[in-house]
Amino acid sequence: MKPVEIVEAGVRLRLFLPDDAPAVVDGCNDPLTQHFIPGMPCPYTAGHAMRWITEGVAAAWSAGGAAWAVADVASNELLGCVGLSRPVPERGQIEVGYWVVPRARGKGAATAATVAATGHALRCGFGRVELLTDATNTVSQRVALAAGFTHEGVRRGAASRPGQSPTTQRDDLAVWARVAGDPPGPTPRVLPDLPGGQLSDGVVRLRPLGPDDADFAYRLQTLPDVVATSVPPVTPTRSSIASRCAEAPGKWLTGRRMDVVICDAVTGTPAGQLGLHYSSPEIGEATFGYSLLPRWRGRGYTSRAVRLLARWLFDNTTIARLLAGTLPTNTASQRVLQRAGFHNEGRQRAQLPGPDGVRDDSIQYSLLPTDLDDR
């Protein structure tokens, strides 16, 4: 590809200038940029910036990719960088990546730059553009959705960080792609955000599970009775819970799963968790699971939380049928489901993995929109 300037929806993609060096230094030293771009020099110095401007940019174009300064159309002020790299000519594929300075975040600059760079790649004959994001980088995943990319899965252990063992400490990358002929963005969400970030009926409040909930989630998920009803019934580690909380927002964005914290509506105190796995989008069927700290049990919180989220899901997603299963001995959970309006559909023999290699039956329940209408 030959260097070219592009103007797109409020941003200008231009070549880097020597005067951009101070802004490049500031942007590349930003903690989020440092965290999510492995291999970025730390600290990033003026010397690094000038080598990038005088040598790195030209090398990117010579290798069949591209490197642009993302600038404000009116002021020409540097807002970040966007590039195309890792071309695979035999597959007609290339990768897009970017960073923006903190003051430009949340204003559409990253999305506009990604749209512009992707469009240029497609016009130059590439049939597929990939965007890889850290599995915990929900900001970049929102950019991917806004730019019309489709989530295709997770590339396990695809990235390593400086100081980590390259064989044992590797990070997952979420894979997003846009191919020639895809409709313009944004990509529709399968599981949209909660309105205002929460749902409440005045007694319970539901909000998304996130990285800051690791301590609470670990305390809840390691309770013996919660472990006994988990699938599989194995006590999780602190690190696995931390990873689950960190990756929860991304799984929600990609429509695979949504996890919410059940809070007391008055105090905001976390009381439990409610999880939904969109197991069969092709038929509109999803599965519920939940757990509650002992001090909050017996108040009807779980049934309220299930009904509250179920109503919102039926009204705002393609989900048409909700499922939940319990162990035959878990009568407390069965009462929760019955109070929430679920119907008993029977027993699935040996459906669940139990302790010591045995398998347990599951009592199956389902909820339809009309079940809530009847209550």
pLDDT in tens, 253-289: 999 999 999 999 999 999 999 999 998 999 999 999 9
Give me the number of domains the chain comprises.
Answer: 2
DSSP state of 45: P
271: tokens are 């009381």
Same domain, 326 and 226: yes
Task: Look at residues 152, 179, 206 and tell me which one is the last residue of a structural domain.
Answer: 179
pLDDT at 3: 84
When pLDDT is averaged across residues 39-44 and rounded to a whole number, the result is 92
* CB-CB contact of 309 with 331 (8 Å): no
Q: Per the domain annotation, does 188 fall within a domain?
A: no
- What is the CB neighbour count within 10 angstroms for residue 282? 6
Q: Per the domain annotation, does 104 fall within a domain?
A: yes
311: tokens are 């109503």
Same domain, 97 and 151: yes
Amino acid at 224: P
Same domain, 159 and 200: no
pLDDT at 292: 97
**Looking at the predicted structure, is the pLDDT value of residue 9 above 80?**
no
**Looking at the predicted structure, is the pLDDT value of residue 20 above 60?**
yes
Query: Sheet containing 128-134: which strands, arranged edge to edge?
Result: 6-8, 11-14, 66-72, 78-88, 93-100, 128-134, 170-179, 150-160
When pLDDT is averaged across residues 64-86 and rounded to a whole number, the result is 95
Q: Per the domain annotation, does 184 fall within a domain?
A: no
Task: Look at residues 149, 179, 209 and tell me which one is the last residue of a structural domain.
Answer: 179
**Looking at the predicted structure, is the pLDDT value of residue 34 above 90?**
yes
pLDDT at 231: 87
* CATH classification at residue 130: 3.40.630.30
Q: CA 356, CA 70: separation in Å to the nearest integer? A: 57
Q: Per the domain annotation, does 77 fall within a domain?
A: yes
Pairing of strands 204-208, 199-200: antiparallel
Q: Per the domain annotation, does 173 fall within a domain?
A: yes
Q: Per the domain annotation, does 214 fall within a domain?
A: yes
Same domain, 276 and 160: no
pLDDT at 166: 62
Residue with tokens 């989008």: 281
Alpha helices (runs of H) in 254-299, residue ranges in sequence order: none
Same domain, 25 and 171: yes
Confidence of residue 167 (pLDDT cuts 50, 70, 90): low
Same domain, 145 and 269: no
pTM: 0.90
**Looking at the predicted structure, is the pLDDT value of residue 77 above 90?**
yes
Backbone dihedral angles phi then psi of residue 209, each to the nearest 5 degrees: -70, 140
When pLDDT is averaged across residues 219-224 and rounded to a whole number, the result is 97
Same domain, 365 and 339: yes
When pLDDT is averaged across residues 180-193 and rounded to a whole number, the result is 95
When pLDDT is averaged across residues 1-23 and rounded to a whole number, the result is 89
Same domain, 42 and 146: yes
Task: Look at residues 179, 208, 243 and tell me which one is the last residue of a structural domain.
Answer: 179
When pLDDT is averaged across residues 338-352 and rounded to a whole number, the result is 95
Same domain, 215 and 309: yes
pLDDT at 159: 81
Same domain, 145 and 214: no
Task: State the chain's mean pLDDT as an integer.
Answer: 94
**Looking at the predicted structure, is the pLDDT value of residue 246 above 90?**
yes
pLDDT at 112: 95
Q: Per the domain annotation, does 262 fall within a domain?
A: yes
**Domain coverage including residue 366:** 195-373
Q: Per the domain annotation, does 187 fall within a domain?
A: no
When pLDDT is averaged across residues 186-200 and rounded to a whole number, the result is 97
**Looking at the predicted structure, is the pLDDT value of residue 350 above 60?**
yes
pLDDT at 170: 80
pLDDT at 357: 83
pLDDT tens-digit map of 105-126: 989 999 999 999 999 999 999 9
The 3-state DSSP class for residue 191 equals coil
pLDDT tens-digit map of 112-166: 999 999 999 999 999 999 999 999 999 999 999 999 999 999 998 888 766 566 6
Same domain, 258 and 321: yes
Start-to-end CA span in the chain (Å): 63
Same domain, 21 and 117: yes
